[in-house]
Structure 1
């Protein structure tokens, strides 16, 4: 999992299956792959639904993604909306989503082709060309998490088809304002009103909560750098880390607001307004729990005596 600087590793990172674009600079040894599934609501915090690790040479990432997609479909059916980033955009993953019949919102690259109905025929155009020159159907104020202020944005929805995938889709364009790049979202949800267009945009906007949770696993929990050699030991270590991560996410539920507030105030206080109003204080929660348990070590009886 760590970096290696040697002539042998530099020679082994030639172009081959899995390494079509060798890394530049520091040579990294291919290691273990991992994939997680997080469920998040429009108002509820994220919940860890599953996590899996595997060796890079044991299976393919797409096989694991399809396995998790099938499990999610069997567990929830069409009760949830699946959010996919631009890494999943394209014909192969779009066909899998249509075959399973799931509801999805996919970030679509603006250079990818779609078919627009123009009079009597369907013309194949790039996504940005389909909505070029068309005015927004609805506008409203949106909260920009990066700029920390309200910005007036507009939305537009156009019925489209994929050139090679059968099905009816909608291309939703979110225009967050001057100086901000628009979002191109492809969905199979039926859209007839401006409220439904904003629902699609709100669904994808919640993706940022998922990104924040994964950032914590990489930076704070060290999921990408386990310092163990044997596969069994490494898997046990990551399972313990996943349980700790799920426990921290559970503390973000509204039912724990009083406990969480008291814990942060007593054991990890912050005077800045930015820290006190943070939506997902995972870093402060971990630090507060560590100080609490250092001062009051939890008593665990490993070998209970029989009476």
Structure 2
């Protein structure tokens, strides 16, 4: 009994020390943005901002919507949840501050981390990501648009012994989301930019315009020296045009049926062009999906895009030697 009691005390004390450490780190991280808010907001609203961030970090979960009334209970205690809800509402409705303060804070943190990565001799990577925020049960929220439901796609996946899933994609109300995240090889990610947008109504936007504005901000705030990494959703000609216009290096996962031009092979689809080039290097990597080590081969060549024949690009072909997966095609502005 005595031993178990001591063990429980040790666990409680370690959790207490950990919580104090996390709060200390959060204080250091939010110090700059709280100073900016102090200059335009009442101190009580600044305190509410800090408490709200803590509540979201502690209680964020994919099955918890974090309703305003729930958050009010977390920051003031559930006996005074209405008062906490009113505090959060006053903070969010205040016209004395805008999202520009948060944007400037994130860019300031990004610049500091960039300097640190460069001093360590690491290449900074800017990861572009798109997703959506699904509001499947909502109808009247401002700015809702149709988004493809990733949850519905998982639920209707083919399973043995069950009915055939619908052929067409399932769409629900929601918002589109675009972000850029700063990282490096062997490093964790940190947020640089985030944007939520809609394709309907008064605030209707196009994904290309969102990307252009985010890239323009990056060029002004951060400058050059970053490698932008993008998935197949960005494999198109305007990605090449805009990154070249803003003088930014990029690496995009290219689609196999897109056309490319080679100086001797001519104009062909990417997968047909890639067959002509033999491997120049091999490597053993971890397949995170199958949890096995596998051998890959790497080939590369210089190509041009049909719409920009004056711009030299490099096509990198990554093949699975055991044919577990189809080849991976990477198009980059960097010479290999």
**What's the TM-score, normalizing by structure 2?**
0.47
Question: Is it true that 1:79 corresponds to 2:225 in the alignment?
Answer: yes
For residue 70 of structure 1, give the secondary structure of its aligned residue in structure 2.
helix
Question: Is it true that 1:150 corresponds to 2:296 in the alignment?
Answer: no
The 1:101–1:148 alpha-carbon spacing in structure 2 relative to 1, beyond 3 Å, is: same
For residue 263 of structure 2, give the secondary structure of its aligned residue in structure 1.
strand
Once the two structures are TM-superposed, the CA of residue 145 in structure 1 deviates from its matched residue by 1.3
Q: RCO higher in 1 or 2 (8 Å CA, sep ≥ 6)?
A: 1
Question: Is it true that 1:61 corresponds to 2:204 in the alignment?
Answer: no
Once the two structures are TM-superposed, the CA of residue 106 in structure 1 deviates from its matched residue by 0.8
The 1:164–1:48 alpha-carbon spacing in structure 2 relative to 1, beyond 3 Å, is: same
Choose 71-80 or 165-174, whichever is displaced more: 71-80
Once the two structures are TM-superposed, the CA of residue 133 in structure 1 deviates from its matched residue by 4.2
Other-structure match for 1:101 = 247
Question: Is it true that 1:171 corresponds to 2:309 in the alignment?
Answer: no
- The aligned length equals 173
Deviations 1:217-254 (A, max 9, x none): xxxxxxxxxxxxxxxxxxxxxxxxxxxxxxxxxxxxxx
Deviations 1:4-60 (A, max 9, x none): 799xxxxx99xxxxxxxxx9586633x433222211210111111121223433122
On the 8 A contact 1:4/1:26 being kept in 2, the answer is no
Once the two structures are TM-superposed, the CA of residue 76 in structure 1 deviates from its matched residue by 2.8
Distance 1:108 1:156 in 2: 15
Structure of greater Rg: 2
For residue 180 of structure 1, give the secondary structure of its aligned residue in structure 2.
coil
On the 8 A contact 2:225/2:248 being kept in 1, the answer is no
Other-structure match for 1:18 = none
Within the candidate set 186, 202, 209, 2:331 is matched to 186
Other-structure match for 2:91 = none
Runs of 5+ in structure 1 lacking a partner? 7-11, 14-22, 192-307
On the 8 A contact 1:37/1:49 being kept in 2, the answer is yes
Other-structure match for 2:181 = 38
Runs of 5+ in structure 2 lacking a partner? 1-133, 140-144, 147-166
Once the two structures are TM-superposed, the CA of residue 146 in structure 1 deviates from its matched residue by 1.4
